[in-house]
Amino acid sequence: MKITFIRPNLFDQRSTDAMTPLCFAILKGLTSEKHEVVFHDERLAPLPVNDHPDLVAMTVETYTARRSYQIAADYRRRGVKVVMGGYHPTFLPEEALQFADAIVIGDAEAVWHQVLEDAENNALSPIYQGEEFPCLDGIKFDRSIFQGKKYAPVTLVQYGRGCKYSCDFCSIRAFYGSNLRQRPIGQVIDEIKRHAGKFLFLVDDNIFVNGDQARELFEALIPLKKKWFCQVSIDIAKDPELVELMRKSGCISALFGFESLNTDNLKQMAKSWNVHYGSYGDSIRVIQDAGIMIYGTFVFGYDQDTRDSFEEAVDFAIDHKFYLANFNPLTPMPGARLYDRMVAEGRMLYDRWWLDENYRYGHATFTPLGMTAEELTAGCFRARRKFNTLSSILKRGMAWRTNMRDVYRLGLYWMSNVVSRREVYRKQDRVLGAEDIPVEWLDDQADVDPLKVITL
């Protein structure tokens, strides 16, 4: 079969910060050599016109759902079968099935061979779902499909899946539940030795799932002399020795979800543990003393937030000389507990914001209690702009222990801040998907009753 893999963008436009989508390295690794595979990443180049493979496989996230459905509709109009997988079809299978011939729920590893066999026999089932979470031992990443494409010069590597925490807004917990899986460390190290350049992004949802495993991973990374980034829960700061080991193993920056400076908000989102082992100030000190640059993320719109919360958070991030920071309106994602609560409380502004032609990227999707939805949108955009002003970049840059510690950090600091500043303006206020495709396409393409509930 001829198979086209597609990574849709949020909008019908190119991005400047695209990274290799690991799910396609996995799918390629699972696909027999007898099939001819072509891969298109819409963030890098426009999709080909009149492509006519036997099967299209797309990865779909909530923010890319509208664009994915538009692309799928175009292929299906020409009689090409489309299979979708990833977060969004997993959470909303009945919606995705209006636009795909088949969907894969959850991880691909256990079912992809069956999808291919059924597609070859022209006998696709609507839904594929593995019986349990597949073991990650032996997983093969075939990165050959990324060759010749202009991705950011960083190698994405996955050690494990899932998170030990359960924040109410989070898609990870909704996707993996309490399941935590790690690959054998030897396999991760071999893969890095074979494929990675100088910079790695360990894409685990939380690299600090448990202290012993993190220690073992960091120790194994030391001899490789790589520079790496990750996402980690801030409770790692309770163990300064482990943080020091993290730095020694090459970690130069880590993303921490601070989310809010208000403890009642943290409680509401089930993230009180953020300040359980030490105040933010104490944790930041441990991390920055070790030389790790902090990428802090904040959300606004929980019940205790007011119009003053934005300024407070952005000043906090600038004063603590964060390497990068993001200030997002809290956005209820289907599948997450927060979404169900907002729907139950009648606070959502759209039926399905991710498909709505009136929704704009960066805008509030629900009515907060402490301000209006417009104030929430404006406050986040203001905070992002303030954090990315030249004076803020210069002020934050003057940090000898972290952002100016060595040539790698300094280079990364400036490059990332320039990109971040540009991205703030590029995405804000944009309609998701291609703007010139009218909203009626949703009804036109629906060949399944949207209200039909599929029993999984």
* Residues near ligand SF4 (CB under 6 A): 163, 165-167, 170, 172-173, 205-206, 233, 257
Say whether residue 62 binds ligand B12 (CB under 6 A). yes
Among 3, 4, 12, 26, binds ligand B12 (CB under 6 A): 26
Report the b/e string of 213-245 with b at 16+ CB within 10 A.
bbbebbeebeeeebbbbbbbbbbbbbbeebbbb
Cα distance between residue 412 and residue 295, in whole Å = 12
The tokens of 117 are what? 């066999």
Minimum distance from residue 282 beta carbon to ligand B12 (Å): 25
Give the whole-angstrom CA distance, residue 143 versus residue 130.
24
Among residues 191 and 205, whose Cβ is nearest to ligand SF4? 205
CA 48 → CA 16, 74, 173, 360, 396, distances in Å?
Answer: 20, 11, 36, 26, 43
Kindly indicate which of the ranges 57-65, 118-126, 405-413, 444-452 contains the residues binding ligand B12, using the contact rule CB under 6 A. Answer: 57-65
What's the CA gap between 416 and 419, in Å, rounded? 5
Q: Which of 1, 189, 203, 343 binds ligand B12 (CB under 6 A)?
A: 203
Nearer CB in complex with ligand B12: 158/365: 158
Three-class SS state of 231: strand
Burial class from Cβ neighbours inside 10 Å (0-12, 13-18, 19+) for residue 344 reads: exposed
CB of 60 within 8 A of CB of 68?
Answer: yes
182 binds, among ligand SF4, ligand B12, none (CB under 5 to 8 A by kind): none
Cβ 84 to ligand B12 shortest distance, Å: 6
Q: Are 214 and 228 in contact (CB under 8 A)?
A: no
83 binds, among ligand SF4, ligand B12, none (CB under 5 to 8 A by kind): ligand B12
Least Å distance, CB 148 to ligand B12, is: 17
How does DSSP assign 399-446, residue by residue?
A: -TTTTTSSHHHHHHHHHHHHHHHHHHHHHTTPPSB-TTS-TTHHHHH-
Structure tokens at 267: 């409680």
Work out whether 87 is an interface residue with ligand B12 (CB under 6 A): yes
Which 66-85 residues touch ligand B12, going by CB under 6 A?
A: 83, 85
Cα gap 251→433, rounded to integer Å: 35
383 binds, among ligand B12, ligand SF4, none (CB under 5 to 8 A by kind): none
Taking the least distance from each CB to ligand B12, the nearer of 39 and 286 is 39
Q: How many residues bind ligand B12 (CB under 6 A)?
A: 37
Q: Assess 171 for contact with ligand B12 (CB under 6 A).
A: yes
- Rounded CA-CA distance 64/58 in Å is 10
Using CB positions, name the residue nearest to ligand B12.
85
Largest CA distance in the chain: 62
The site string for ligand B12 over 391-410 (x = CB under 6 A, - otherwise) reads --------------------
| CB of 39 vs ligand SF4, minimal distance in Å | 28
Least separation in angstroms between CB 116 and ligand B12: 10
By CB under 6 A, tell whether 110 contacts ligand B12: no
CB 258, min distance to ligand SF4, A: 11
Q: Quick one: 10 or 393, whose CB is closer to ligand B12? A: 10
- Residue 238 is given by DSSP the state G
Residue 286 or 335 with smaller CB distance to ligand B12: 335
Nearer to ligand B12, 21 or 433 (CB): 21
Among 86, 93, 332, 433, binds ligand B12 (CB under 6 A): 86
Nearest to 324 by CA among 333, 332, 314, 309: 314
Q: Give the pair of three-digit tokens for residue 42.
A: 């819409």
Question: What gap in Å lies between CA 446 and CA 100, rounded to an integer?
Answer: 10
Which residue in 72, 104, 399, 432 binds ligand B12 (CB under 6 A)?
Answer: 104
CB of 205 to ligand SF4, least distance (A): 4
Of residues 333 through 362, those in contact with ligand B12 by CB under 6 A are 333
Q: Which residues bind ligand B12 (CB under 6 A)?
A: 9-10, 15, 17-23, 26, 43, 57-59, 61-64, 83, 85-88, 104, 107-109, 112, 156, 158, 170-172, 203, 205, 333
